[in-house]
Structure 1
Amino acid sequence: MTRIAIIIGSTRPRRRTAVAARWVAEVAAQHPAVAAGQATFEVVDLAEYGLSVLDEPVPALFGDYRNAHTARWAETIRSFDGFVFVTPEYNHSVPAALKNAIDFLFAEWNNKAAGFVSHGVHGGTRAVEHLRLTMTELQVANVRTQVALSVFTDFEITDPAEPGVIAPGPHQEPTLIELLDEVIAWSQALKPLREATSHVLSA
């Protein structure tokens, strides 16, 4: 079975990102591949991992992790075949917490697939542009389809200090389903590479 993580890419209290991630999970749960037992989706919340600012003494490329929080994070990411990153845009880029979490690891990301659901004043599109570059360096296949949620039209917000309620436009769910189709397909297509790499590492 193909396992896909829906990663909440913000650790702020009362995150709108968590609201968006729950919507992604609800749509994903209805996907035909899930009903057929071919794929499963699981929400992964960065806030639950307690990652400090990168504190590993050895670069992630070598896989020589020394800290318990890194080992726990590595075990989680290693267990998935693909990812849907749900991210806000902070100052034209990726949240520091998300970039930091990505940088803790290397091989655990390799030969997998990723899609992006973003939100913000500009739909979070500029954060995703930066994420695509990072994922490419980590040998993660970026799918083309992207969901960009506007804070003005895809959420109902009465208090800017609260996350509000997600209210996606009618085009957003079909776009998300297309994104999920692509992430599942690419994750499955890359399985032989993951298996070959796993064999080499364990030899």
Structure 2
Amino acid sequence: MTNTHSNPNIAVILGTTRPTRWGHKPAEWIKDKIIADGRMTADILDLADFDLPMFDEMASNKWMPSKDPKAVKWQETLAQYDGYVFVTAEYNHSISGALKNALDQAFNEWARKPAAVVGYGGVGAARAVEHLRAIAVELRMVNVASAVHIGGGELMKVHPMGGNADASIAEIDAVLAPSAAAMLDELYWWADLLKGARAAEERKAA
């Protein structure tokens, strides 16, 4: 049964799988922010480590158990967490196919948990973030309104496209820190609240 007195455990989901991706840098950065904050614990879940097939189950696990062992492993991993931070690039005004597929591979494990976003791209992945939030609603997640958008000139200071492949996110931390703090405040509020609510529901059903 869920322990309501432990800190909420957050999965930072690295939402791209290409070998040339840059998302590991903001993923590590926001994970460190969560841990330094002290109210939550955090791990990075790298989609590249799960090798998920394209969704081909007969139905979502909302309706029947998934059969593919890789999908089941993904679901079992997600179930350990009380909330999620999605680190997403913007691909043609939306999220990556890999992230959409990973979202589709579960249902029950996402539900009644908060979803926060760190987006990066020319406009801070704003359009991808909006698409992701619509998906999160359908998966019964609670959207965290505050987000971190890494875009424009700040992105070019730390991204290979700006000739700064070796730069650290720390170089633009002063710009990003206020939005990160606002996001983590909301993420904690929802994660703690919903964790307690899920535990109360489990007790009632027992």
Q: TM-score range by the shorter chain?
A: 0.7 to 0.9
Partner of 1:23: 29
Comparing 18-27 with 108-117, greater Cα deviation is found at 18-27
Within-5 A mapping of 1:1-203: 1=6, 2-33=8-39, 39-150=40-151, 152-154=153-155, 155-158=157-160, 164-165=166-167, 166=169, 167-168=171-172, 170-195=174-199, 198=202
Deviation of residue 153 (structure 1)? 1.5
Percent identical: 35
Number of residues of Structure 1 aligned to a counterpart in Structure 2: 197
- 1:97 aligned partner, one-letter code: A
Distance 1:173 1:8 in 2: 20
Structure 2 length-normalised TM: 0.87
Distance 2:70 2:44 in 1: 18
Q: Which has the higher strand share?
A: 1
Deviation of residue 104 (structure 1)? 0.7
SS in 2 for 1:52: coil
- 2:31 aligned partner, one-letter code: A
Q: 1:105/1:116 Cα in 2 relative to 1: closer, same or farther (>3 Å)?
A: same
- Is the 8 Å Cα contact of residues 9 and 95 (structure 1) preserved in structure 2? yes
Distance 1:102 1:161 in 2: 33
- Is the 8 Å Cα contact of residues 63 and 105 (structure 1) preserved in structure 2? no
Deviation of residue 168 (structure 1)? 2.1
Distance 1:74 1:105 in 2: 6
Deviations along 1:64-94, one digit per CA (max 9) or x if unpaired, are 1101101100011111000111100000001
Q: CA RMSD in A?
A: 2.2
SS in 2 for 1:107: coil
Q: Structure 1 runs of 4+ off > 6 angstroms?
A: none
Consecutive unaligned residues of structure 2, counting only runs of 5 or more, are 1-5
SS in 1 for 2:101: helix
- Is the 8 Å Cα contact of residues 158 and 164 (structure 2) preserved in structure 1? no
Partner of 1:36: none
Consecutive unaligned residues of structure 1, counting only runs of 5 or more, are 34-38
Structure 1 length-normalised TM: 0.88
Distance 2:175 2:162 in 1: 25
Deviation of residue 144 (structure 1)? 1.1
Q: 1:158/1:105 Cα in 2 relative to 1: closer, same or farther (>3 Å)?
A: closer
Deviations along 1:161-200, one digit per CA (max 9) or x if unpaired, are 9955333252311211221121111011112442355568
